[in-house]
Structure formats: structure tokens, C-alpha cells
Structure 1
């Protein structure tokens, strides 16, 4: 099973790895900014620096759809994540549906008959279909490519940092005062007390 591939970004999904993922809604960033950030990559801007710029624009939320701000849509997206976790596709550690993007932290199983990129495809396809029904629309829901980052667990507190980042994203974006107030946030029980 392939554990790595490349589109616009490199994707590495080794068995047992903890991953930080960001999925954004289709059209949630202006194409001019996306093109600019791709050019920055050619000029040596790191993937982490590009992600920080993407994230800043997504949090500002001044462009494109905000379908995940609708509670019913956010609930079905989080339910889709939980469904795949229940089926053993990964262990879901944290997730947060922001108005125009989704963060999640998960751990891949040590062995799997299904490559993780297929798991992502199924998740995006299913939730896009359900969300479009909920919104009485059709067309693209998610941006094609997902930002993913392996959490280097050899670094102290790296996994906790990713979970904290995910949970506190609505606080950082001034959508609430405490992470527990945001209804579209999930943190696994074993991590809640550490936040």
C-alpha cells in the first residue's frame, strides 16, 4: 500500500503515525492568493510558512463559503470523522470544524488494507454529498487537496501542541472565549485534561 504521494504538496502517511490535517472548503481562498503561495514555494518558503499564511487567511474568513458555520453541516462532518474512527481507519484525537475549514489530529493504525488517501477520499465524498443535500445545492464542497503534516513524536509535547492548536482554533479566531464553548470541537477524553 502506498504511504506517500505528491500532488501540489507532498503527502506521507506511514503506519502508526500521528497526523495533523487541514481540509478547506472549495473556493475558501482567492485563487490569486493560492497562486502567490505556490510561487512562494518555488522561492523557498517552507511548507510550514505557507500553511501559516493559508491559515491566517482562512481564519479571517473574508472570502468564499462558510458552510461549516451551519450547525447541521458541522455535525455531519464531525460524525463522518467519528464513523471512520469507529471503523478502525484511524484513532481520532481531536477535530474542529471552523466556518470554512476543518482541522483534525488522528493516529493511523499500525496496519491497514486501505491507504489513508482512500480513507480521505471516502470521507470527503460522503460528507460533501451529505452537506450538499443539507444545503440544497450541488457541486464541489471540499478543496481537492488536504494539508497534512506528520507530528514528530520524538519532539516533546508535539502531539499535545497539535491537539491544543486544533481545540483552540476558534478562540484564536475570536469565535468564542473558551475552546469548550465551540460546539464543533471534539477532543478525545484522554487529552481533554491536558488542555
Structure 2
């Protein structure tokens, strides 16, 4: 349990002079104590395997137009791109991922209002104790949230806890079996105030972009500054 008073000095954008913890599993994860983090949890069928395969092909084609000696490892090749090209690469495929998620592929069990409420209730349960929860949107096949943790270890454990608990509850509620969530969430340290405002607007406007009707999503605006 975290002392609520310890939250008084956290909830800030990235401090480039402070320590950053980087861990790598399927993807890199950056964590910094007290920094606002944008997290995406997506359902296991939200991006089909054939779509991911096509993205890998597009990534290799992008890199081949720039590097004279590309390899079969686009991740390693990305790090070799000139700064401007690497930024363009990241921007292009970030937008592609977002557009695909907003297409609401897969079975979309979170379209069910009860399932969506299970997720939101789980996210709110330890708010102010283990973490500070900011703006949140429950979409039919993914979740975006802004959140602050006191340390990186808490972030990893809490994301796992959220996914395990909600998977069990939603499977029981909908009479389904099997995995619900993609095993590894996406997380991003908020770099500055401008990006924070962009992400708050992105969360709020996500249902509009995805052409969802009222009742197909669940949005929570935080009273905090994130």
C-alpha cells in the first residue's frame, strides 16, 4: 500500500534529468517514478496476425528505401535510420496502429456496457492508493488511460493485475473462455505539457474518430490535471 501523501510530489511530465528505467520484453518499456504515463491495453484479437505481418512488410519496405544494406530485423534497422527518417517511421506506424484499433476489429466484448464497467471499476479500485488514475476511455477492443505510479515495479504488477482480474470477470459475465488481453500493454511517458493536452483530447475524441454511438464506449474525465 502506498501512503497517499507520497503522491503529493508526483504526477508530472517527463523529467529528462531524472533516472529512467528501461526494460524490454516484446517491446521496450520506459518508466520514471511519478511521471504521467499513457497506457493502452488492447484485446487479444484487436489487431489480427495477418495485419501485423503486413505491417512488418511495410516497415521493411520503408527502411529499404533509405538504408543501402537493410537486414531482416526491422527493429534493429530502425535504430540505424537518420533522425528525421526514424521520426517519420515512428509517426507513420503509430498512426497505422491507432487507425487499426479504431476500426474496432475482433469480437469487441468491451462494447458490452457491463464488460466496460467491469474494466472501469477495476481501474478505479486502487486509485489514490497504488496509483493516480487520470482520463480513461474504454473502447470496444482497447483501453486508453493516463496514470501515475510511484515506481516502475508497481506499474508492471498493476497492469498484470488489471488484465487478469477483468479477464476472469468478463469471461464469466459473457460466458466466454480463453485469453482476453494482449499480454503486453503499450506504455508511453508523457514528454511535456503540450503532449499531455494532446493525449487528453485524443482520449476524449477517440469514440468520435471510431464512429461509435453512445453506449458503445465508456469515458471518464478525471478531476486531476491529467
Which residue does 1:56 correspond to in 2?
A: 99
* 1:33 is the counterpart of 2:51: yes
What is the number of residues matched between the two proteins?
182
Contact 1:69 1:100 in 2 (8 A): yes
Q: For residues 115 and 15 of structure 1, what CA distance do their matches in structure 2 show? A: 10
State the 4+ residue runs in structure 1 displaced beyond 4 angstroms.
Answer: 45-48
| 1:22 pairs with one of 32, 37, 40 | 40
Q: For residues 91 and 181 of structure 2, what CA distance do their matches in structure 1 show? A: 21
Which residue does 1:77 correspond to in 2?
A: 119
C-alpha distance after superposition, 1:83-109 (max 9, x if no partner): 1324x2221111101111111111222
C-alpha distance after superposition, 1:33-86 (max 9, x if no partner): 22333452535364453332111111112x312101000000010011001324
Structure with bigger gyration radius: 2
Coordinate RMSD, CA, aligned? 2.4
* 1:118 is the counterpart of 2:157: yes
Q: For residues 84 and 49 of structure 1, what CA distance do their matches in structure 2 show? A: 36
TM-score normalised by L of structure 2: 0.72
Contact 1:67 1:99 in 2 (8 A): yes
| 1:163 pairs with one of 200, 203, 211 | 200
Can you give the 5+ residue segments of structure 1 that lack an aligned partner in the other structure? none
Can you give the 5+ residue segments of structure 2 that lack an aligned partner in the other structure? 1-19, 60-73, 79-85
